[in-house]
C-alpha cells in the first residue's frame, strides 16, 4: 500500500498565545510540525505534504526536510486539508491526515491506522474513551442532561482513508463547509468510519498548559 501523509499545519495558534504559527512553536527544541512529520514517516508513511500558512512558506521550508512538500493552507482546517489533498498524486492508495498540533503521537498509532486500511477499511480514526461524566447544558449553563459516556469516544489523528474515498468526499463537500476533522467529511458523504485504539500521547497542543505537559514528556 502506498500511503501519503497530510499534515495540517496552517493554523495560527491564537489560543497558544505564541509569537509565531503554532506548528513552528518549539517542543524540546524542534518545531511541532517536525515532530508530526517524523511520526508519520516512522510509522510507515512514505510521502508527506504539509499545509502551511501562505505567508510562512519559507519559515517552514527551513525547518522541514527537503523531500516534504509544502502547500498553502486555507482559512479553515477543512480548506487546508482540501489544498493538501489536491497535491496528493493518483498513485497513492491511502491518505493519512494528521494535525501538526499532535507532536508526540507514537508511530505505532500510525501503524494501527495503516493496518486497518490494509485490512479493508475505507476510513479509520483513532479513538479514546471518555472518562469524565459528560453533560449537556442549556443556554444558561444549567445541566440539561447527562450523556451515557460508555458510547462516547474522543477522536484523534492521524485519520486514515482510502484516497479515492477522501477525494470523492471532499469533492462532494460545499466549498465553504467547515468540519472539525476529515472523518466527518467522509461520514457526511455516507462512508462508514472504523475505529482503532488511540493513545493519550497523541493529545492535541491547544493552550499553554498542553505545551508545558508535552515538554515534560520529551526525553532530551
Q: How far apart are CB 22 and ligand C5P at their closest, in Å?
A: 6
Q: How far apart are CB 166 and ligand C5P at their closest, in Å?
A: 16
Q: Based on the number of CB atoms within 10 Å of its own CB, is 176 exposed (0-12), middle (13-18) or buried (19 or more)?
A: exposed
Of 4, 5, 39, 80, the one binding ligand C5P by CB under 6 A: 80
Of 64, 70, 77, 95, the one binding ligand C5P by CB under 6 A: 77
Strand-pairing partners, residue 155, are 127
Shorter beta-carbon distance to ligand C5P: residue 93 or 177: 177
Contact flag: residue 23 with ligand C5P (CB under 6 A): yes
Of 5, 43, 74, 160, the one binding ligand C5P by CB under 6 A: 74
Segment lying near ligand C5P (by CB under 6 A), choices 3-11, 88-96, 129-137, 207-215: 3-11
Q: Which of residues 83-112 bind ligand C5P (CB under 6 A)?
A: 99-101
Contact flag: residue 163 with ligand C5P (CB under 6 A): no
Nearest-10 crossing angle of helices 32-42, 107-118: 50
CB 90, CB 21: distance < 8 Å: no
Residue 155's CB: how many other CB atoms inside 10 A?
A: 16
Shorter beta-carbon distance to ligand C5P: residue 2 or 30: 30
Shorter beta-carbon distance to ligand C5P: residue 40 or 51: 51
Shorter beta-carbon distance to ligand C5P: residue 115 or 155: 155
- For residue 213, the Cα-to-chain-centroid distance in whole angstroms is 19
Over 40-66, what HEC string results?
A: HHHCCCCEEEEEECHHHHHHHHHHCCC
- Torsion angle defined by CA atoms of residues 48, 89, 55 and 210, in that order, rounded to the nearest 10 degrees: -40
Contact flag: residue 206 with ligand C5P (CB under 6 A): yes
CB 182, CB 92: distance < 8 Å: no
Of 25, 48, 51, 109, the one binding ligand C5P by CB under 6 A: 51
How far is 42 from 2, CA to CA, in rounded Å? 15
Positions touching ligand C5P (CB under 6 A) are 8-11, 22-23, 51, 73-77, 80, 99-101, 204, 206
Amino acid at each position: 500500500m502506498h500511503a501519503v501523509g497530510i499534515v495540517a499545519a496552517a493554523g495560527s495558534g491564537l489560543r497558544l498565545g505564541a509569537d509565531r504559527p503554532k506548528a513552528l512553536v518549539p517542543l524540546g527544541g524542534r518545531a511541532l510540525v517536525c515532530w508530526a512529520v517524523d511520526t508519520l514517516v516512522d510509522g510507515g508513511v512514505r510521502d508527506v505534504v504539509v499545509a502551511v500558512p501562505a505567508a510562512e512558506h519559507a519559515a517552514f521550508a527551513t525547518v522541514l526536510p527537503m523531500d516534504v512538500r509544502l502547500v498553502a493552507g486555507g482559512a479553515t482546517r477543512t480548506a487546508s486539508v482540501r489544498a493538501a489533498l489536491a497535491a496528493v498524486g493518483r498513485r497513492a492508495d491511502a491518505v493519512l491526515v494528521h494535525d501538526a498540533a499532535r507532536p508526540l503521537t507514537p508511530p505505532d498509532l500510525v501503524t494501527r491506522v495503516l493496518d486497518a486500511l490494509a485490512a479493508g477499511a475505507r476510513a479509520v480514526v483513532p479513538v479514546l474513551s471518555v472518562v469524565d461524566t459528560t453533560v449537556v447544558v442549556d443556554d444558561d449553563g444549567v445541566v440539561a442532561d447527562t450523556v451515557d459516556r460508555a458510547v462516547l469516544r474522543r477522536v484523534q489523528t492521524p485519520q486514515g482513508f482510502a484516497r479515492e474515498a477522501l477525494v470523492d468526499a471532499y469533492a462532494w463537500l460545499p466549498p465553504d463547509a467547515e468540519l472539525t476533522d476529515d472523518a466527518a467529511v467522509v461520514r457526511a458523504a455516507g462512508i462508514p468510519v472504523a475505529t482503532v485504539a488511540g493513545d493519550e500521547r497523541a493529545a492535541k497542543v491547544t493552550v499553554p498548559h498542553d505545551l508545558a505537559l508535552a515538554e515534560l514528556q520529551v526525553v532530551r
